[in-house]
Amino acid sequence: MSLRLPSLLLCAIAVLTAMAPSITRAQSPTPQTPPSLSVDAIVAEVVANNPELKFYEAELTAARADQKLAGRLPNPEFTPAVAQKRTTEPFGNFAGEGVAWTVAVSQSFEWPGRMALRKSIASRQVALADNGLVQFRTALAVRARTLAYDLSVALQKAGVADAIANRFLALQQVVVQRDPAGPTPLLESRILEANSITYRRRAGQARQQAREVLLELNQLRSKPLASDLQVTAGPIVFRPVMSEGVLMGLALTNNFELRQRVLELEQQGFKVDVARTDPFPGMTLTPYFTQENSLGQDRFIGVGFAVPLPLWNSGKVDVEIANARQTQAQTSLLLARRTVERRVAELSVAYGTRQEEMERWRPDSVERFLETAELADRHYRLGAVAIATYVEMQKQALDALDALLDTRREALDAALGLELATGTSLHLVSFETAPSKP
């Protein structure tokens, strides 16, 4: 029995050792596939979860609360008073004494029209807060759409650059095995190796850019920075832009910056009117009741009122300050209008130019360049293409891809910029659904 025990232990150890790799593989977590979202889904997620929106929503809530307070009278004041009364006769003889007390209620009232002015100022503040919220939400959606497309483009550039670098690296073995003697195989091998390093660097730069874009996108989505994401961005459809006159009309009516300046100017106009009534802000009515106990009971019921006398502060300085602020608001509106007009004109020209460039492309331009690069690779392996032609074809394929994608990116920027400038959804750009992979 003692002899069989060690042998059984050895067999058990051997079995466990053989099963260890499979157990480890079973216990190791399987890599999770990153979520794949469309551009519109990413935009919706950012707008729904961005934490900075709460700041603007809170600002709107506070402005609405101030609007309610602007229409209320100040609370009345209750004033009780107690005193000791002593009565003497005309010759100084003591006649009697007792307690005297008074109660009064004071209520202040605004100067006629002043409350309406304060309500108008508060309503403009609500409109400003609402305009700020809508402006931020629109800008947030534009930024999210741009980042989603940038992420898709950067990953596409990285994939193509990696593929070209791998081709150069794989062809080094083909060159070494060729028959021609002399330095030609070595020189061609070094050319291929150098190009492989160059394109590997371009791929690394594209991946770095994709990572930076993903970090910002995760922050906007309120996700952990390390979260991965795939963008299912199909082809972009660019529609013709309307005339510059129509765009100008939309911008002058709906531009967020101009609307803010107009509201500020209106608000400042009401503040000028309020400043003119500052010397007489209102009056205070004070009903009161007094009872005095001495020789008998004396009771008094009356009403008092108080108004300020504009002796030391006539309000002229406040009116001058308010008028100066109104002039500043008018100037800000004029400058903002000029800026918006120039911005709309620039974006309209940029979008039209990029659209004209893209109309000259073949629909399959990107695929044709990549197919030509693969064709050059096959013929170089057969010795039918010189190395200079092969290297130039690979370079031109990637450069053309960069040019096509960058042009689309610039057109997208111009289209989304026009939406911000006009404050209107122009529907110039739409992302088609990416085809599902088999």
Sequence letter at residue 144: A
| Three-class DSSP labels, the chain | CCCHHHHHHHHHHHHHHHHHHHHHHHHCCCCCCCCEECHHHHHHHHHHHCCCHHHHHHHHHHHHHHHHHHCCCCCCEEEEEEEEEEEECCCCCEEEEEEEEEEEEEEEEECCCHHHHHHHHHHHHHHHHHHHHHHHHHHHHHHHHHHHHHHHHHHHHHHHHHHHHHHHHHHHHHHHCCCCCCCHHHHHHHHHHHHHHHHHHHHHHHHHHHHHHHHHHHHHHCCCCCCCCEECEEEEEECCCCCHHHHHHHHHHHCHHHHHHHHHHHHHHHHHHHHHCCCCCEEEEEEEEEEEECCCEEEEEEEEEECCCCCCCCCHHHHHHHHHHHHHHHHHHHHHHHHHHHHHHHHHHHHHHHHHHHHCCCCCHHHHHHHHHHHHHHHHHCCCCCHHHHHHHHHHHHHHHHHHHHHHHHHHHHHHHHHHHHCCCCCCEEEEECCCCC
CA dist list (Å): 77 to 285, 303, 371? 10, 14, 87
pTM: 0.78
Sequence letter at residue 30: T
d(CA 80, CA 322): 40
Indicate the CATH number for domain 238-278+324-425: 1.20.1600.10
Q: Return the structure tokens found at 267.
A: 């608000």
Going residue by residue through the chain (438 aa), what tens digit of pLDDT does each one get?
A: 444 444 544 444 444 444 544 444 444 445 567 778 888 889 999 999 888 899 999 999 999 999 888 878 888 888 898 888 777 777 777 767 888 889 989 888 887 778 888 889 999 999 999 999 999 999 999 999 999 999 988 988 898 888 888 888 887 766 666 655 667 777 778 888 888 888 889 899 999 999 999 999 999 988 888 888 888 877 788 999 889 899 999 999 999 999 999 999 999 998 898 888 877 777 888 898 888 887 777 888 989 888 887 777 777 888 899 999 999 999 999 999 999 999 999 999 999 999 998 888 877 777 888 888 888 888 877 778 888 888 888 888 888 888 888 999 999 999 999 999 999 998 898 876 655 444
Using an 8 Å Cβ cutoff, are 154 and 210 in contact?
Answer: yes
Domain ranges of the chain: 238-278+324-425
Sequence letter at residue 339: T
